[in-house]
Amino acid sequence: MKQWTGLGSGALCAFLLGSTALQADVTADDVWKGMTDYYAALGQSVTTGSTAMQGDTLVVTDAVFASTVPEGSFSATFAEIRLKELGDGRVEVTLPGEVPIRMLSKPESGEAVDMGLKFTQSGLSMIVSGTPEDTAYDLTAPEMAIVVDGMTVDGSDVPLKLNVKLSGNSGSYRMTTAAGRKVVSDMKVEKLDFEVAAQDPEGKGDFSASGSLAGLTGTSDAAIPDGVDMADMHAALQAGLDMSGNFAFSGGGYVMDFEDEADTMHAQSTGGAGTLHFKMSKSGMAYGGSGKDSTVSLQVSALPMPIDVSIAETAIEIALPVSKSDSAEPFSALVKLVDLKVSDGLWAMFDPTSQLPRDPATLIVDLAGSAKMAVDIFDPKQAETIAGAPPGELEALDIRELQVSAVGAELTGKGAMTFDNSSGTPKPLGAVDMQLVGGNALIDKLVGMGLVPEDQAMGARMMMGLFAVPTGEDQLTSKIEFKEDGGVYANGQRIQ
């Protein structure tokens, strides 16, 4: 159901959250037609009980926005939508205070989920301006919320409570239809509060969590070609679908509790600023996020002391091609965990005499390269043909940065390789430079603590001597080369 959850309820919420007003005229009929045409273009249906002009206001009753795919369905029902012509070329849209939503998931395998939701709002103001071909929606709302209103799994009731409240909302939503549909939006939310509670249907466990995010902002941009079926993501991308979004928040936190027949857990977390982003088109897919100054405190009944963890910076970035191509396309991947710290109580569990340095740990892996895709990965039929084989050929790989530092030792590296795929098995050509600082001191400490036997430590030192050369006090470097003759060399000596 990824298609309708991403572009059904998502597009509907964008309208609700929808730029400076355009200097032109729209009528109530124009606005309603623009909304229904948009959802029809996304493969959804819009039905109404009645539509009638009452003076300067178009009144729409019992409007149902719905979509259906083989794996499930989605519907949102508006008891009444009022579109009032303001007399200056603009239209004011008034929505009901409560909108019931139903989401049904029926996968071929797995559990069937039937969930009811309610969207509520107070004081929402939405003004529409522009022309039928270029329309802007400007919105403010002191408060909006979504709550779960019943849920079943395979027909059995699930005791679930979920409330999400958004305060201080403002935003805009602009759509043009000159060549396909171009949809641009931006939004601001002063604060998002949530609370969730769930129980094991058999009464063996309870879970609850609550928290908030502050200073939320977001922008999105989508180009939707005419006549595409959004339920077929492969066809839509090949036709020119192009979507992107960028979101951020200034900080937040949560509290979480869990209890079952044997254990209890309490967690509390705070965090600084963070970001999320995505982009998808025929040329590729990218997504990622980052966060700063995160802390987590855990109290678990099975452990004798609390656990405190903090991290200064986190990030993950993935970008990869998605379409079959005769030429190589770029990809990249980044994982970053900077200055990870844990509490002394946790250290004491495995290092009670403080033998190991307790410096913050860091992990950074930054890769880039190019690959020739053999399949369109969003085409289910093509995806089935690979049967576990790689979806394409790797042609180049750059290790832009590698850093692993913890307990007094640090490994760093960089390198670049190309690959010859003519023989069926990729043959690398290039080099990787590595440096290890503090490795021998770490081995000595692990032996002294009894965590590593002396014979294993000796074997590790022999391996380091084979692949690396000393360049300073407890500092080793290694240059691993992959040459044209098919050999692998370490510091000039062939090892394969």
List pLDDT tens digits, range 197-209. 998 777 778 999 9
pLDDT recorded at residue 42: 79
> Mean pLDDT for the chain?
90
Amino acid at the residue 144: M
Q: What is the mean pLDDT of residues 158-183?
A: 92
Residues 55-71 pLDDT 10s: 999 999 999 999 988 88
What contacts 297, CB < 8 A, 6 or more positions away? 267, 268, 269, 306, 307, 308, 309
pTM given for the model = 0.86
**Percent of the residues in the chain that have a pLDDT greater than 70, as a whole number:** 95
> Which DSSP letter does residue 20 get?
P
pLDDT value at 19 more than 50? no
d(CA 248, CA 62): 36
pLDDT recorded at residue 24: 59
Q: pLDDT higher for 329 or 486? A: 329
Q: What is the mean pLDDT of residues 247-273?
A: 95
**Helix (H/G/I), strand (E/B), else coil: 447:** helix
**Helix (H/G/I), strand (E/B), else coil: 491:** coil
Residues 316-374 pLDDT 10s: 999 999 999 889 999 999 999 999 999 988 888 888 888 899 999 999 999 999 999 98
pLDDT value at 6 more than 70? no
Show contacts of 347-351: CB within 8 Å, 24+ apart. 348/305, 350/451, 351/449
CA nearest to 142, candidates 96, 100, 191, 95: 191
Q: Where residue 493 falls among pLDDT bands split at 50, 70, 90? A: confident
- Element (DSSP H or E) covering residue 446: helix 439-448
Alpha helices in 150-249 (DSSP H): 233-239
